[in-house]
Structure 1
Amino acid sequence: MTETDIFNAIIEKEGDYINLPADKGGATRWGITEQVARAHGYAGAMAELPQATALTILYNDYWSGPRLDRLAQVSQAIAVKLCDTGVNMGPVPAISWLQRWLNAFSQQQKLYGRLIADGNIGPLTLSALDIFLTQRGAEGERVMLKALNCSQGARYLQITESRPQNQAFIYGWIKERVTL
């Protein structure tokens, strides 16, 4: 899967322009909120945000910026999952979940040292994932993806319980984002 494939899949999930009153993200096109677009210097109407601009933002803020491009060298499937989750709720929570799960799977730090779940991908996180996948193989990658889905689903439930307006979105979040 190329980076173009990754972002085209995200754009397909996110869809074109939306501006729903119940959505805290406000005006959004191609998965890019108005706040993010403005931070990148886009001054036009959100309904007209060019797809090329959205792709550049997706790449910079949700792939290369959080170093998922480096993580993809260890596991593309996990990097793609974290990127998709990051677009929906920010890269820091998604990467923090990976670090927390790696800690839980470290066999009481016999495989690798404890990670700080800071949401930043650095050499320790990359090394821990590499060691985990070397020990567990393809099955380990599938288990990690399931674990990340558990965290994501729990987060969706938490934000919906704390903000009832999100009930309008939770079904779609689970359907589109918590993948098998």
Structure 2
Amino acid sequence: MKFEEKLDELVGVEGGYVNDPADSGGETIWGITAAVARAFGYAGAMKDMTKAQAKEIYRARYWTQPKFDQVGRLSAPIAYELFDTGVNMGQTVAGKFLQRALNVLNNGATIFPDLTVDGAIGKMTLYALETYLKARGVTGENTLLKMLNAQQSVRYLELAESRPKDERFMFGWQTNRVEM
């Protein structure tokens, strides 16, 4: 799968215009919140944002800015999972999920040094991922994907437990976001 295909898939899941008072994201279209749209230069009515404009924002904010594109050079499936999680939970959360998983998969820091879990994808995180993938191969990549999805699933559970208004979104989050 190429990034454009993943982007089309994500925009399809996010859907069109929504202004649900129970949604913490507020007014959105194609999954882009008004706050993010404004921060990336969109000044029109949210209902009028085109898919093409939303895709430009996704690419800048949720793919290039958090360096998931650089992760994609090492593993497209891992990068796409981080992208999806980053859109729905924030890029820093996605980065922390990756760093946490890598830290416990590094065999007591014998494969690479433990990472600081700050959510920022930098040289050390990229090095750790590259080293891990070389050591563990396809099976390791699949294991890491499972761990990223498991963390995402648990995070949705925690959100719904702490914010009962989010319970109405739980089934959709688990159905559309968590893959096993």
TM category (shorter chain) comes to over 0.9
**Conservation of the 8 A alpha-carbon contact between 2:26 and 2:33:** yes
**Other-structure match for 2:161:** 161
Deviations 1:53-89 (A, max 9, x none): 1111100011011111111011100000000110111
- SS at the partner of 2:84? helix
Deviations 1:116-174 (A, max 9, x none): 11111111111111111111111111110110111101110111011101011011000
1:20 Cα deviation after fit? 0.9
Task: List structure 1 runs of 4+ shifted beyond 2 angstroms.
Answer: none
**Other-structure match for 1:75:** 75
Structure 1 unmatched runs, 5+: none
TM-score, normalised relative to structure 1 = 0.97
Structure 2 unmatched runs, 5+: none
- SS at the partner of 1:18? coil
Within-5 A mapping of 1:115-126: 115-126=115-126
RMSD between aligned residues:
0.9
1:44 Cα deviation after fit? 1.4
- SS at the partner of 1:137? helix
1:3 Cα deviation after fit? 2.1
- SS at the partner of 1:20? coil
**Other-structure match for 2:139:** 139
1:2 Cα deviation after fit? 2.2
* Identical positions, percent: 44
**Other-structure match for 2:172:** 172
Give the aligned residue type for 2:93: P
Instruction: Please give the alpha-carbon distance, in whole angstroms, between the structure 2 residues aligned to 1:117 and 1:57.
Output: 26
**Other-structure match for 1:96:** 96
Instruction: Please give the alpha-carbon distance, in whole angstroms, between the structure 1 residues aligned to 2:151 and 2:158.
Output: 10
Give the aligned residue type for 1:143: T
Give the aligned residue type for 1:71: V
**Other-structure match for 2:150:** 150
Instruction: Please give the alpha-carbon distance, in whole angstroms, between the structure 2 residues aligned to 1:62 and 1:40.
Output: 12
Q: Would you say how many aligned residue pairs link Structure 1 and Structure 2?
A: 180
Give the aligned residue type for 1:100: R
**Other-structure match for 2:108:** 108
Deviations 1:73-119 (A, max 9, x none): 11100000000110111110011110011000111100000101111
**Other-structure match for 1:51:** 51
